[in-house]
Amino acid sequence: MRAYYFDNLSGDQRLPHDCVPSRPVDPETLKSIKVEAWTIPVTPGYEEELDAVAKERNYRNRDVIEISKEGLGDEYEQKLKGFYKEHIHEDEEIRYILEGGGFFDVRQAPSDEWIRLAVSAGDLLVIPAGIYHRFTVDERNLTRTTRLFKDEPKWSAIYRGPESDANPHRIDYLKSIAAAA
């Protein structure tokens, strides 16, 4: 995984949008906003490592989702727009990339800058509950991902606005990063 500040220029969301010159983001910065990432190569035996992460974090369910034109058909572009609209979740979002790649953008608080996380096969990413973020595939137009869940598989977004700013999970997240600073 590669982390860097998003250039905020208009254009295709599936492009890298890296600043010129690039502004890399170090692991300590990600840690300060509670984003975790590591690599588990997609090789025989990766399931055991993924199972260990799931057990450690009390995840009981998982599914595999393929975001591609072939997999989603006519809904592809609409789904991408929904994933790319800035939102929070009330649970942490944990994703393991099996194939393809994409970009998770997370808001750095308190600056409100976008940090872009370029992910590809083998990357495992944990995005905390309450952080503003969004997702898009890259130019390959394919991401096959294992999603881990504490309970039943679901994807429930709360889009940015007054409701999300007042959400208890958002407030708790902001308190947690202030306490860590």
Q: Which residues are annotated as a binding site for Ni(2+)?
A: 87, 89, 93, 133
Q: What integer pLDDT is reported at residue 181 of this predicted model? A: 58
Q: Which residues are annotated as a binding site?
A: 87, 89, 93, 133
Question: Among all chains, which residue has been given the structure tokens 């905390």?
Answer: 128
Structural domain including 45 reads 2-180
Q: What integer pLDDT is reported at residue 180 of this predicted model? A: 64
Q: What integer pLDDT is reported at residue 91 of this predicted model? A: 93
Going by C-alpha positions, the residue among 181, 137, 178, 127 that lies closest to residue 157 is 127
Q: Which residues are annotated as a binding site for Fe(2+)?
A: 87, 89, 93, 133
- In the chain, how many domains are there? 1
pLDDT tens, position by position, 104-119:
999 999 999 999 999 9
Q: What integer pLDDT is reported at residue 154 of this predicted model? A: 72
Question: Among all chains, which residue has been given the structure tokens 């991401």?
Answer: 143
- CATH code, domain carrying 26: 2.60.120.10
pLDDT tens, position by position, 3-44:
999 999 999 999 999 999 999 999 999 999 999 999 999 999
Residues 135 and 41: their CA atoms lie apart, in Å, by 22
Whole-model pTM?
Answer: 0.94
Band of the pLDDT at 151, cuts 50, 70, 90?
A: confident
Given a cut of 80, whether residue 68 has pLDDT beyond it is yes
